Amino acid sequence: MIDLEMLPINEILFSFDFNPYVIFPLMAVIIYAGIAHYIYLQGLSKKENVWFMLMAVMYALAGFSEALARSSVYDTGASFWWSMEAFAQTFMLTITIGAVLVLVGKENLLRGMRKALIFIPAAVTTFLAFYTNLMVDHIPGNGIIEDLGWGRAGGEFAWVLRIWLVLGTLVALAILIIYRFKTDNSKRKKQFTLIAIGIIATMFLYPIIERLQGAIPLISDIPHGPFDTLPIMLSIIYAIKRYGLFEVNPATLVGNLVTTMTEVVFVVNPNDHTIEYVTGDTESVLGYKPEEITGLSLSEIVKDHWESLKQQAFVPIVEGEQNKAVAELEIDTSNRGVVPLKITTSAYREWRSIKGIVVVATDLTETRELLHVMAERNKLVMIQESVLDGLITVDYDNKITMVNTSALKIIGASKEEVMGRPLTEVFERIQKDEETFSVEALLPQRRFDNDDRFFNVTGATIVLYNGSSIDVDLTGSAIKEGKDVNLQTIITLHDLSEEKYLERMKLDFVAMAAHELRTPLTSIKGYLSMYREQYENKSNTEEGLLLGRIDRSAEQLVTLMENLLSASKIEQGELNVYLKSTDWVKLVSEEVDMLQVLATEKGLELKFNKPKAKLPSVAVDQLRIKEVVNNLISNGIKYTQEGSVTVSVEYDEDNNRVLTSIADTGEGIPTEAIPHMFKKFFRVHGELEMGSKGTGLGLFISKSILGLHNGDIWVESEGPGKGSTFKFYLPVSN
């Protein structure tokens, strides 16, 4: 007699004798394993597949446990494996109930604590089977030896296991039968019928085989337990093959679909509007977990919006006015603030009565954001098509990605001709003054972290791909988001063609008017000279004074005409200069001497600070440059009421040029007027304008003449009443 207490537990559990009868439970294991593998191949994404596969696994475990129990050497080892078989049977039945619930579309009953509840009997049975002698007798020496090997030594409460197996099977069968008569789907009816037959066959197969074994000695020694459950598994397999078992579970299918969408689906009681079932991403949409809102009234979720929602989406459904109703509302959520929702309701009917109201809640946040973006885009398109300036966008490959109608009109091309082409192919080159460069030189070679305007070319001429040219103001801008949307540059084209046309017309008119006025003015000056000769000795008489005034007015008109003609020639590029090497100090000195009389008449001191060293010669058109010097000194005298006007000349050796300045102690110039002093027809407003007469052309002409000499001019003043200094330079003659 072996003392089992002296043996290690692994030797007790894993000591086996050869037993030919275990081939039958092992055959069952192979069959159930094959069934489990087949279901696995159908895919485990469907919930019912998982449940049915677990059923087959538990059936296989039960058969395997019986095989080990019957071939064990020791009864204690056999009792352990019989306990494992009890575990497999109890969980097998629990899983069967779960599979049936999923099959009929009631998987919501398997959530949270309710799922745990159906596993409690199996867990209790397992505990009793392994840790007590109430289900299986583990006491050494109490084992039952049979011809088939060790039999199950039942404990005091072994009958509980049998009752649980019977009751559980009846529950699963009842659910199938009830829903078999409730459903209108013919395929579902066949599925339910087939599996119900399998369960019934399983229930009656065991007593039938027991009776047959008692009547037929030949089969009395065959262990049939593992095969008793084959009918239900075979019915499931047949349902898979014949009626597409895993293809027709609408509730599960809808649930699986909803979990991949932003919608939340409720099933609401039609009477008290209690949420009986919910699926979908409730936490991100509503801020609640499914178990937190199951059992609540829908009014507790939507709160102040309930009455409005009820009238729009529930009353029409309940009263049969509509099959589907839609409402929109905004609710306060715990994690996202206010969320806009679209609520769609429809009735779930059985036997013409409403069993529930299906509510689909759709989060409209992204939809509204998209609508807002589309509205902004449409507004932007309208704006860009409405502006008169041309707009062109260029990506980081320098290709044109957008061009508005105004730009196409300015360029004189169709959209197909320019879209997608490199900008350098459309704009061959840009000309500004006498400089020529490629548009590529203007484009940025970097990405921007802020909105920025990085080039502005005014009065440019762009030579296009077809050989034509356009006159435009050209501006390039970038936005910081450009790197995210492959937008490098936004180019604005302001068409100058009409402005230049009007400018040419104006210049032509001014030139024509000046020419037409020159002849009568010349005649007037001639006749005045004749009359003044007659009254030469009578200048103090009334007639002499009048003739003097007329002569001065005529002289002003002549000066105006000459200025207008000069300005017209400058604008049209027709003013020419003929350069000649000149002694600059001598030329300036002559102009100062000529204007001394004018300064003396106003009581002003006109000084000329000659340089001590001899200056290099300058190349100038003497007639034109004298006009500049005369104009600047005359202005100094004109705008100075007391004090002096000082003319200075010096040599800028570093830049090899002669610098001339005319400084006065007169009215001075406001700071804001200084940038505009050399613009055509500009005059300073205020006392300077009121106290003098002028056309506003003198400084414009002076700057233009100096430009033709490769020189430049600028003005300095500390403000009104503080005088001003005009400075210009001329390059030294080569």
Query: Distance of CA 404 to CAs 411, 572, 586, 626, Å?
Result: 11, 33, 60, 51
With beta carbons less than 8 A apart as the criterion, state whether 305 and 348 touch: no
- Residue that wins the pLDDT comparison between 130 and 71: 71
Looking at residue 506, what is its pLDDT? 74
For 147, the 3-state DSSP assignment is: coil
Dist CA 66 CA 223 (whole Å): 9
pLDDT band per the 50, 70, 90 thresholds, residue 45: low
pLDDT digits (tens, 9 = 90+) for 409-465: 998 889 898 899 998 888 988 888 778 888 887 877 666 667 777 788 888 888 888
pLDDT digits (tens, 9 = 90+) for 494-544: 888 888 788 777 767 766 776 677 777 777 777 777 777 776 665 566 777
pLDDT digits (tens, 9 = 90+) for 289-336: 888 888 888 888 888 889 898 899 898 888 887 888 999 888 887 777
**Residue 621, Cβ neighbours under 10 Å: how many?**
18
Query: Considering the entire predicted model, what is its pTM?
Result: 0.40
Looking at residue 599, what is its pLDDT? 92
Burial class (CB in 10 A: 0-12, 13-18, 19+), 43: exposed
pLDDT digits (tens, 9 = 90+) for 585-616: 999 999 999 999 999 999 999 999 999 889 99
For 473, the 3-state DSSP assignment is: strand
Structural domains for the chain: 4-248 (1.20.1070), 261-368 (3.30.450.20), 387-495 (3.30.450.20), 501-571 (1.10.287), 580-731 (3.30.565.10)
Query: Any idea what DSSP says for residue 220?
Result: T
Count of alpha carbons within 13 angstroms of residue 647, beta-carbon side: 27
Looking at residue 724, what is its pLDDT? 94
High-pLDDT (> 70) share of the chain, %: 82
Task: Tell me which residue has tokens 């459903």.
Answer: 183
Looking at residue 515, what is its pLDDT? 67
